[in-house]
Amino acid sequence: MKPRSLVFDLFGDYLRYRGGEVRLRGLVALMSCFDVPEATVRVVATRMRKEGWLSSRREGRETVYALTGAAWDLLDEGRDRIFRRDRGPWDGQWNMVVYSVPETERALREQLRKKLAWFGFGPLSSAVWLSPHNRTDAVIAAFSDHPAVQLHAFRSRSTGTESDRDIAARAWDLKELDQDYAELLETYRPRLAGYRAGALSARDALGARMRLIHDYRLFPFRDPDLPPELLPADWQGRVAHEVFLEAHGLLRVRAEECVDGLLGAD
């Protein structure tokens, strides 16, 4: 778990509910739970401030850090994708984005592809991406300040369910994703009994909860949250999400005890 990601996760899951800011020595105390030394915390905090993710103020001889508005927006967007799943019925419409980016803007093109994947779009071809969810407006808004990016949105139906399943299999590697979900379940489902029994210390619960977030956070980049009719039989993704939510909830009280103890000591 990278120190930068740990800082974001500590704010997202704990510090936002404790005033939204933290003294440097409090942050050092929290990061020590993950064997991050004080010198590294200072460097990371300084860099995140220079990059516009953290703001700082002086309180006597103390430095107090808080996330900036841009950082909170990024964090909330990620949190929404991690914790929520679309449960409504699918209307059978594919939402398509066709883009054009000059060859000289390769970095911008890669940024566009990552954003498309983040919003649950998959590539039908190199410049044609599609999703069963109507999120084209969000993609267009994200690149409204980039005139080099030309985006066109369409909605259409295929010839039927068999064709829809074929499209989904072409746009996403569902087999590999399902296997990775199965591995996540193998890791965390056996731990639920211990979590329910409160077997972990407060410090270990904080570490386990942060590790859980770390292990799960990349799935929303890869999982388009397809409706059931487009998924393979015995799909593990929905089960894995439920196990993730349960584990995250079971570890909350003990993890927050650790955070309160460290910040209280600070």
The model's pLDDT over 68-80, given as tens digits with 9 standing for 90+, comes to: 999 999 888 888 8
User: How would you class 66 by CB atoms within 10 Å of its CB: exposed for 0-12, middle for 13-18, buried for 19 or more?
Assistant: middle
Checking if the pLDDT of 265 tops 70, the result is no
Q: To which residue do tokens 């799943």 refer?
A: 85
Whether pLDDT at 266 is above 60: no
pLDDT interval class at 133 (50, 70, 90): very high
Q: Which two tokens stand for residue 14?
A: 């704990």
109 CB contacts (<8 Å, ≥6 apart)?
101
Burial class of residue 240 (count of CB atoms within 10 Å of its CB; 0-12, 13-18, 19+): buried
Q: Is the pLDDT of residue 135 over 70?
A: yes
Mean pLDDT across 242-249: 96
> CA–CA separation, 156 vs 148, rounded Å?
26
Residue 245 DSSP SS3: helix
What confidence score (pLDDT) does residue 81 get?
83
Q: Residues 29-45: pLDDT tens digits?
A: 999 999 999 999 999 99
Distance of CA 158 to the CA centre of its chain: 31
Q: Which residues contact 6 (CB under 8 A, 6 or more apart)?
A: 31, 34, 36, 210
Q: Give mean pLDDT, residues 196-217.
A: 94
- pLDDT, residue 82, reads 87
User: How would DSSP label each residue in 132-177?
Assistant: SS--HHHHHHHTTT-TT-EEEEEEE--SSHHHHHHHHHHHS-HHHH
pTM for the full model?
0.86
Q: With pLDDT > 70 as the criterion, what percentage of the chain qualifies?
A: 99
